[in-house]
């Protein structure tokens, strides 16, 4: 299925390359089941990382799993509004994110105690990372330019990048670093988005 959420904000058509980023824990702070715009907080150095990419004419594309929709904790419209707000926060700094692709699905089939609207998202889709359908759709929009890589703070981000055949950077977080290094084998391990961007550049 292809009912992921695609939000295109910017496409100049003359990019020098493209980079893929996770959202929560990579660009903004991780919040359990983020469902309000007020919960968005940009991580330290994220603006510097985005600024460096903008200056290098690199398309910035966020690829994110948002299973809160399948859990009935947030609607598609609310997700779109949160993504819009994230982009606006960077816009106020003179920076831009080019696109955000969000997977609303979750493979768990149990429908107990979730709103009716969420039931259709309880599927085993082809877009939820580490699968790569959203990456492929982004490439159809932005063209097959030089791909810098994938940056994320979770094992699934690294595995998605590997599945797509690109370089990967793992951002250290509370998840077991040794587990990610053993299972996903990222090309680089960094403390923050700016360092990750520099590693790929």
Query: Which residues, including other chains, have CB under 8 Å from residue 42's CB and lie 6 or more apart?
Result: 27, 28, 29, 89, 90
Structural domains in the chain, CATH included, are 5-145 (3.40.50.1000)
Query: Rounded to whole angstroms, how far apart are CA atoms 135 and 127?
Result: 8
DSSP assignments along 30-51, one per residue: --TT---GGG--BPTTHHHHHH
pLDDT score recorded for residue 113: 75
- What's the angle, vertex CA 41, arms to CA 176 and CA 43, rounded to 5? 50
Q: What are phi and psi of 160, to 5 degrees?
A: -65, -45
pTM of the model: 0.94
The string of pLDDT tens digits covering residues 98-127 is: 999 999 999 886 666 788 888 889 999 999
């Amino acid at each position: 299925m292809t009912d992921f959420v695609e939000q295109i904000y910017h496409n100049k058509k003359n990019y020098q390359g493209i980079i893929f980023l996770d959202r929560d824990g990579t660009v903004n702070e991780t919040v359990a089941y983020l469902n309000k715009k007020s919960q968005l907080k940009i991580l330290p150095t994220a603006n510097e990382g985005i600024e460096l990419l903008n200056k290098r004419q690199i398309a910035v594309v966020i690829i994110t799993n948002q299973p809160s929709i399948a859990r009935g904790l947030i609607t598609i419209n609310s997700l779109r509004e949160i993504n819009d707000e994230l982009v606006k926060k960077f816009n106020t700094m003179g920076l831009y994110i080019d696109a955000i692709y969000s997977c609303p699905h979750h493979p768990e089939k149990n429908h107990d105690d979730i709103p009716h609207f969420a039931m259709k998202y309880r599927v085993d889709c082809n877009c939820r990372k580490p699968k790569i359908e959203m990456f492929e759709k982004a490439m159809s929009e932005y063209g097959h330019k030089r791909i810098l890589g994938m940056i994320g703070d979770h094992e699934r981000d690294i595995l998605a990048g590997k599945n797509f055949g690109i370089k990967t950077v793992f951002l250290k977080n509370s998840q077991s670093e040794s587990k990610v290094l053993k299972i996903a084998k990222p090309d680089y391990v960094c403390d923050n988005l700016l360092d990750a961007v520099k590693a790929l550049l």
